[in-house]
Amino acid sequence: GDVCLCVLRRSSLRPSGWCVCLCVLRRSSLRPSGWCVCLCVLRRSSLRPSGWCVCLCVLRRSSLRPSGWCVCLCVLRRSSLRPSGWCVCLCVLRRSSLRPSGWCVCLCVLRRSSLRPSGWCVCLCVLRRSSLRPSGWCVCLCVLRRSSLRPSGWCVCLCVLRRSSLRPSGWCVCLCVLRRSSLRPSGWCVCLCVLRRSSLRPSGWCVCLCVLRRSSLRPSGWCVCLCVLRRSSLRPSGWCVCLCVLRRSSLRPSGWCVCLCVLRRSSLRPSGWCVCLCVLRRSSLRPSGWCVCLCVLRRSSLRPSGWCVCLCVLRRSSLRPSGWCVCLCVLRWCVFVCVEAVLSPALRVVCVFVCVEAVLSPALRVVCVFVCVEAVLSPALRVVCVFVCVEAVLSPALRVVCVFVCVEAVLSPALRVVCVFVCVEAVLSPALRLVCVFVCVEAVLSPALRLVCVFVCVEAVLSPALRVVCVFVCVEAVLSPALRLVCVGGDGMFSEVLHGLVSGTQANHGVDQDLPDARLVPCSLRIGIIPAGSTDCVCYSTTGTNDPVTSALHIILGERLHSVTEHSGCEDARLPA
């Protein structure tokens, strides 16, 4: 109960029971008041429109009471429950309660021409629609490029979606990158998301964090899925919790072929799996259908209720208690590797899971690495997913480092999607509590840069009064003079940002910066620096100190500080730093 990377479902099957999150949790106990830090997507009170509290955020809660929220970094803004109450914003909210009127602080970016359906053109936003109709998208943190609200209008979207029903349009919650030609069932092609559906019917997915490649919404459409499922039993609706890679020919019970997952069942009955990290190959969902299973389990006895905790490898011919044949147990060290067709150039799936608890030193608690690679050796690289979670590995100050990378067609010049999510707590200095960077790049290698989004969230960097600083930069087809960038870090981070900005500006204007006589194009984006490094030479040369508050005040006041002078004959030009 100390540290957990998981999906939770708190109280019951009631609509108000959901507390679903992909997160790093630190709990003092199983009491509701035990939660302290969580990076997650929550769905709190009920299925009523006012019940949703959905956010991609870091939460600090004293309890599970509605008034227990104290700090929340998320993208939501609500003036009321009226459909017109949402305006559109990327923001930081602090709520005293779950009441609609509880929002108190909001920083946002708006780009809307009107409230008409055709008014959306390009925006970074949160959307909420008025009803539970199929068109009733509820909450969306996304980058949208829509010509209108017609079904064919969606083209790229990084978002959390909520839909009303279990029809093909009935997706419930989804944090994803979507590339859809239309809202027809065949429109889905790539999706990194969390889904909630009722059963194994085509609409029956429960909870899923995954990369999907579907030709359609027909049952046979699923091909690759890295996900978490929750079902009640081994019936089609019976999957409990599963972190896995699935390759299915259909949604029929016999369709499962490969699954790397975690299951929870109460006994040896079909619903009796407790905890299992494994690869399953099943001909059907019958209890005798299991043929090969590599997993992590531990039992105190042969009784069905004897499961507790164990890291091991099992091979069972059936679900009978006598079915166990081989069990190799290693406590406090687990390495799991799943490889399919490794020696073939068409490498389909490579999965590596490493979990280490207190192996190297008392400070090293948990190290988890998950890698899923499809067609790595092929130039047409389709999907690369890397998830790394490290706690207190580098130093006692380093609490959590999470990196998630999803790349499609990396080796191709027409780079479609690159998503990087990094969450670091107290890495740079004790003052720096939280830094979250999310980067979504489309067509990076093309001079016509369509979209570059960077989200940086810092808590308690500047002063006790300034708890949260969020910077979101979106560049559409070149840089906009209105955009500003704040770099929180040391000289190395500033150097990377500056050189990348200069190089990108020259490339966008067709200037070869390697030519001695090239006339460089000045950058239109100003960079602010908040010191969070070891030496902070740039801040000392500009402000004379490495005080974060001083740097923040200069940024807030919009001052331009000059410290670098370039002499050319009798002329001198000051370069802004």
Helices and strands counted in the chain (H then E): 3, 31
pLDDT at site 500: 73
pLDDT greater than 80 at residue 350: no
pLDDT at site 533: 74
Classified as helix, coil or strand, 526 is: strand
Q: Name the amino acid, one letter, at 295.
A: C
Is 105 a member of any domain?
A: yes
- The model's confidence at residue 484, banded by pLDDT at 50, 70 and 90, is low
pLDDT greater than 60 at residue 573: no
Question: Do residues 159 and 174 touch, judged by C-beta distance below 8 A?
Answer: yes
- Residue 150 to residue 434: CA distance in whole angstroms: 39
Which residues in 238-285 belong to E strands, given as ranges? Answer: 242-246, 259-263, 276-282
pLDDT at site 407: 37
- Which H helix or E strand runs over 365? none
DSSP state of 233: S
pLDDT digits (tens, 9 = 90+) for 377-418: 333 333 333 333 333 333 333 333 333 333 333 333 333 333
Is 409 a member of any domain?
A: no
| Residue ranges in 21-121 assigned as alpha helix (H) | none
pLDDT digits (tens, 9 = 90+) for 108-137: 222 232 222 222 222 222 223 222 222 322
Q: Name the amino acid, one letter, at 531.
A: P
Cα Rg of the chain (Å, integer): 25
- Residue 264 to residue 204: CA distance in whole angstroms: 19
Is 98 a member of any domain?
A: yes
pLDDT > 90 fraction of the chain, expressed in percent and rounded: 0
> Containing domain of residue 99, as a range?
1-110
DSSP state of 221: G
Largest CA distance in the chain: 92
- Residue 138 to residue 144: CA distance in whole angstroms: 14
- Residue 577 to residue 302: CA distance in whole angstroms: 69
pLDDT greater than 60 at residue 189: no
pLDDT digits (tens, 9 = 90+) for 275-325: 333 333 333 322 333 333 333 333 333 223 332 223 222 333 332 233 332
Classified as helix, coil or strand, 378 is: coil
Environment class of residue 312 by beta-carbon count within 10 Å: exposed (0-12), middle (13-18) or buried (19+)? middle
Is 379 a member of any domain?
A: no
520-525 long-range contacts (CB < 8 A, ≥24 apart) are 523/479, 524/479, 524/480, 524/481, 525/479, 525/480, 525/481, 525/483, 525/484, 525/485, 525/501
DSSP annotation string for 162-211: --SSSSTT----EEEEE--SSSSGGG---EEEEE--SSSSTT----EEEE
Which one, of 57, 97, 173, lies nearest residue 459 by Cα? 57
- The model's confidence at residue 212, banded by pLDDT at 50, 70 and 90, is very low
pLDDT at site 556: 64
Length of the chain measured in residues: 577
Structure tokens at 69: 């929220």
pLDDT digits (tens, 9 = 90+) for 142-177: 333 333 322 333 333 333 333 322 222 333 333 233
pLDDT greater than 80 at residue 486: no
Domain count for the chain: 1
Which one, of 116, 119, 214, 125, lies nearest residue 171 by Cα? 214
pLDDT greater than 50 at residue 243: no
- Residue 551 to residue 532: CA distance in whole angstroms: 11
| Percent composition of the chain: helix, strand, coil (DSSP 3-state, to 5) | 15, 35, 50
Q: Residue 164 CB: number of other CB atoms within 10 A?
A: 19
Is 75 a member of any domain?
A: yes
504 — phi, psi (to 5°)?
Answer: -65, -40
pLDDT at site 485: 67
- Residue 241 to residue 532: CA distance in whole angstroms: 40
Q: Name the pTM for this structure.
A: 0.27
- The model's confidence at residue 549, banded by pLDDT at 50, 70 and 90, is confident
Is 67 a member of any domain?
A: yes
Is 84 a member of any domain?
A: yes
Structure tokens at 232: 């009640």
Is 386 a member of any domain?
A: no
Q: Name the amino acid, one letter, at 331.
A: L
pLDDT greater than 60 at residue 561: yes
pLDDT digits (tens, 9 = 90+) for 500-548: 778 778 877 888 888 888 888 887 777 778 777 778 888 888 888 888 7
